[in-house]
Amino acid sequence: MRAFSYFSDSGVDVTSLENGTPRKTGESRLALGGICKTRRHKTGTYRASISDQHPGLQERNLQVWLGEIDENTFHNIDDPNSERREKNIFVGLTNLGATCYVNTFLQVWFHNLELRRSLYKCQNSRAQEHNIDSDYEPQSICEHLQYLFALLQNSNRKYIDPSGLVKALGLDTGQQQDAQEFSNLFLSLLEETLSKEKNPNLQNLIQQQFCGQFFYVTICNQCGRSSTLPSRFYELELNIQGHKNLTECITEFLKEEKLDGENRYFCENCQSKQNATRRIRLHSLPPTLNLQLMRFVFDRQTGLKKKLNTFINFPEQLDMEPFLERKLDQKCVYELSAVLIHRGISAYSGHYIAHVKDALTGDWYKFNDEEIEKMEGKKLQLGIEEDIAETGKTQSRKPKCSKGYHCSRNAYMLVYKLQEEESSDSLRTNVEVPSFLQKLVDQDNHKFEEWCMEMANMRKLSVDKGRAKHEEVKELYDLLPAKDGEPYEFIPLDWLKKWLDDSTATKEIDSSIFLCSHGKLHPDKMGEIKRVSLQAAKLLYERYGGGPRLDGSSLCRDCVSERCRVLRLKKQLDEDYKEISNLVKRMPSSEGYWVGKASLRSWRQLALEQLEEDDDESRHSNGQTNGQGPHTNNKFGLDVSGGAEDETETFNEDIICNHGGLSILEAERKLVSTEVWTKLREYFPKAPEFPHIQEPCRQCLTLEQEEKDNEAVSKMMALDQKNQLLNLFHEKNRPTLIKWPQGTDRLYIVPLFFVEEWRKFIRRPTKSSPVSNVGNSLLLCPHGGFMFTYDSLINGEAQHIALLWPNEWEVISRLFIVDKPIVIHCVRQTTPDSSTTLYTTQPDLCWECRESFLFQQQRDLREYTQATVYIRKVIEDKMTAKDGTPELNACSSEAEEEREELPKVDGDKDPDFSQSQDGAKRMKLNDSCEASAATTSGTSMIKSGGIRRSTRHRKLRGEKALIVSANQTLKELKIQIMHAFSVAPFDQNLSIDGKGLTDDSATLGSLGVIPECIICLKADEPVTDYAAMDDAYQVRMPEEGFKGTGLLGH
């Protein structure tokens, strides 16, 4: 039978278990994976036994332990010598996250021998007096550079950590910054720090190395007067757009510029603005010439930076003499000493590396954070640094370069050194680390050597333990396989796997998890254990301990029988289900038993779940015994002692009322034959039984009659109230405040919430509760004063109230409980000259609470978070929606308004009074709608300056909602709009009620942007190249640069 196939591979004759006695079929096959009948080779036997259950375990475990020994498998510790500096290779710098731009400049400045030599001369009393027993912690920028340069020069490490300097500068290690800006700010900071040195040769070090001078020469076209303005530079910023080589870039930098129109020049000789020409004249050049290639430019369409991936050709030797107007005595030939590279297509991401020429040997090196690579043949090789992903359809090809030239589309800075005559003076070429710094370097090298020795010792210890384990495995391996006919025991397979995997300590053997509730070996755990010889098991338990020990006689007979019983019942269940289904379909008889229709539909699933629970208990119960084994108190031997309680809570309980009797709802129950009920009873012996003569619950019948009586009373009450207040119910002949009605000098005020709840009751008296209390306290302050003025009511706040005629108030006072009447009086004063009308309320207005209310209202409008605003795109002052038609008609029908049910209000916690003022401009309404809104005191009142947010926004087609906060800037909102409408921030013209929003740095709260308001978006020419917006999608927040860092003096 298929039901017993589960145990057929275990070597147990399950058919004999039904008779109460287990019997082995030949040699026991309970071992994991089976035992080979013929053992040609014990290695092959054991391999088959393991690999059958865990593919891959054989290769990892057996070949490692029995084959050639690889010492690296005994530990996971890298060779510490891999962290050691290689011979004739410079030291790298650790990338702390996004600090590659810092590392590139540090390497370039380190290879400036004059700069390094001079920095070593800076006074550093802290380093000179440092005790080697403690760690050295530099303080000033010069101290950090000294220590960092000394480590880069003589450290034994492959790379060092620059976190001390980065932390001192206050840089964010997770944010990539503009490399050029960092270079300028850092050199300025270093220049300021060196100016305070006592040594005069150090005070002007930065100027001597990097500073040159040019003149702005301006010539008036009218009088010919020439004006010269000197200026210093530390680098030349060269425009590369539209150029192919470095010479063209420098030529454009020095090109004459016309000053005309609004940019005219004020000539002191003419004493007026005149057309003029201006150009730059190079006067002097520094020993180190930094040429900044302007790859990162401002994109007018996106309002953000973008990168120019233009190929630029540059020479190894640069003769600057043609660009100098005043010929100098010395030569102006420069040699290329460094190329700084930015890899990546975006200005906001990518990676910085540096190619630097060793001033001593002339070899080129590539500095990529921790990795340093020496170029072959003493030539600059840009290599894969030029391989960037291009988004265009056609990729630009790299131009051919002449000898002595290089071409790059990623180089953003070129460093040239003034060519000097070869000198044998070692003092000019060699830079020695001062003794006080070398002492610190030696201290760090000593720590590194100690670490290397510690790692080597740990590796050796792990290898020694692994070798010992190897010998142990070899010894036990021959004993593990159990021979046919010999005694054996079971060992957990996971433990054996860990024993083979782990070269060090192994935990004791734990077999308790394989026991069933009877304390014997559970049949479902056979796949998780491995049969080994008795001798091998004895050695393993002696060395590692544990237990309990399991052998062939440990298999639980009761659990095997229970599993077979469950499988048999599952099959029987299918047969009973078909039979019961056929019996139920027959013509119903007048006798039988009541069964819930829901229970009748799901009885098979309920019975199956009970069998699964019994099966799970048999599978997973550990250390718990059930005494006499499974109960057999029903036909199929179902265990109902514990599980039956759960079944009686479900099956047929769907027709039990709250009083424990038969439900009065006949539609939810069905009369089945005695034969059907008998079969169901066998599965659910404790299910509630209701014969066909059983009467429904009398209490439920009584309650049902009472409910019908109450509904009749409610209908009569609703009809009576409706007839007395018919106009109020239908909203006909309603008084208004804008045009005071004739014939009365007073109107009564009640909360609109009361009227709406009353209308709900009138419409559906059997589904809604009757209204008993008017609740005018909702409109009063804690002092009992009225919260609204006549002007505020006619300007929008009337949406909170309903106006009543005096005769209607008399009816309401008689029908409902009134806590406090609220009356508004119209007093007309007539004099011979004029006539005035005054409006007063009773109770009087509480000015103190009114002002507090208005203050809180304005505060909410300025301090909101996560509020919704609507962006409406307009084209030529017309809405994008067809004819500006709302998706939902603003002047909706009465039935539509009635469907908008307001939330219930409890006491003073009326949400209408706790919300801040809504946006004043919701939607353009036609005149008829506005008139209708103005003359309605109920839900149809459209607010023009109210405070309630709950009024539904009628959104136009194409209008989009955005979530904003009051402290958010307009620029951040524009970025959100760009993502929603694909309109670049620069092309967005935003306005509210015709008032433009222009200050990008201002907050939305200060600009008057309030929750639920509508912002009109008018776009200039649309951006067709959406690839140009790629950078904008990466930058969600405005750039802050080096704000708040030590580079700006903070």
Alpha carbons 1035 and 987: distance in angstroms, whole number? 18
- Structure-token match 């070429």, residue found: 429
1015 contacts 997 by C-beta, under 8 angstroms: yes
- Mean pLDDT for the chain overall: 76
3-state secondary structure at position 546: strand
Residue 690's alpha-carbon distances to 579, 670, 873, in angstroms, are 22, 11, 69
- Catalytic one of 144, 351, 518, 800: 351
Strands (E), 795-949: 801-804, 823-830, 835-842, 867-875, 878-879
Q: What is the pTM of this model?
A: 0.52
pLDDT of residue 70: 60
Stretch (H or E) spanning 106: helix 100-110
pLDDT of residue 365: 92
Q: Give the burial class of 529: count Cβ atoms within 10 A of its Cβ; 0-12 exposed, 13-18 middle, 19 or more buried.
A: buried
pLDDT of residue 617: 62
Kindly report, residue by residue over 805-824, the tens digit of the pLDDT.
Answer: 999 999 999 999 988 899 99
Alpha carbons 724 and 816: distance in angstroms, whole number? 13
pLDDT of residue 26: 34
Alpha carbons 827 and 824: distance in angstroms, whole number? 10
Nearest CA among 111, 736, 159, 737 for reference residue 362? 111
Strands (E), 655-702: 669-672
pLDDT of residue 723: 92
**Is 100 designated active site?**
yes
Per residue, what are the HEC states of 754-792? HHHHHHHHHHCCCCCCCCCECCHHHHECCCCCECCCHHH
DSSP state of 662: B
| Rg, Å, the chain Cα set | 46
What tokens were used for 832? 């011979």
Alpha carbons 750 and 744: distance in angstroms, whole number? 18
Query: Please, which residues have CB within 8 angstroms of residue 560's CB and are 6 or more apart in sequence?
Result: 7, 12, 14, 17, 22, 523
Kindly report, residue by residue over 692-731, the tens digit of the pLDDT.
Answer: 888 899 898 888 888 888 889 999 999 999 999 999 999 8
pLDDT of residue 615: 62
Strands (E), 721-858: 746-751, 801-804, 823-830, 835-842
Q: Give the burial class of 590: count Cβ atoms within 10 A of its Cβ; 0-12 exposed, 13-18 middle, 19 or more buried.
A: exposed
Q: In the beta sheet, which residues pair with residue 801? A: 751
Alpha carbons 709 and 706: distance in angstroms, whole number? 5
Query: Please, which residues have CB within 8 angstroms of residue 405's CB and are 6 or more apart in sequence?
Result: 313, 314, 315, 316
pLDDT of residue 681: 83
Stretch (H or E) spanning 583: helix 557-585
What single-letter amino acid sits at 139?
Q
pLDDT of residue 513: 87
pLDDT of residue 92: 93
Half-sphere exposure (CA, 13 Å, Cβ side) for 601?
6
Between CA 505 and CA 510, with CA 509 as vertex, the angle to 5 degrees is: 130
For the chain (1050 residues), the mean pLDDT of every run of 10, in chain order, is 35 37 35 31 36 40 54 67 86 90 91 90 79 77 88 90 88 82 86 86 88 90 88 90 89 89 88 89 90 83 77 90 76 90 81 90 90 85 62 60 86 90 62 87 89 85 75 75 85 83 71 87 86 86 87 86 79 84 78 87 83 64 40 43 43 87 87 86 84 88 88 91 91 87 88 91 89 88 85 79 91 90 86 81 85 78 84 67 38 37 38 35 34 35 35 67 90 89 85 89 88 88 44 47 64
- Catalytic one of 100, 211, 556, 1016: 100
Alpha carbons 239 and 293: distance in angstroms, whole number? 6
pLDDT of residue 336: 93
What is the greatest pairwise CA distance in the chain? 133
Half-sphere exposure (CA, 13 Å, Cβ side) for 1007?
26
What tokens were used for 258? 């016309």
1020 contacts 978 by C-beta, under 8 angstroms: no
Alpha carbons 241 and 297: distance in angstroms, whole number? 10
3-state secondary structure at position 910: coil
Question: Among positive and negative, which fits the CA dihedral 488, 493, 495, 498?
Answer: positive
Nearest CA among 360, 352, 398, 354 for reference residue 378? 360
Name the CA dihedral angle for 714, 717, 720, 723, rounded to a multiple of 10 degrees: -60
**Is 1013 designated active site?**
no
Question: Among positive and negative, which fits the CA dihedral 219, 220, 223, 227?
Answer: negative
pLDDT of residue 220: 92
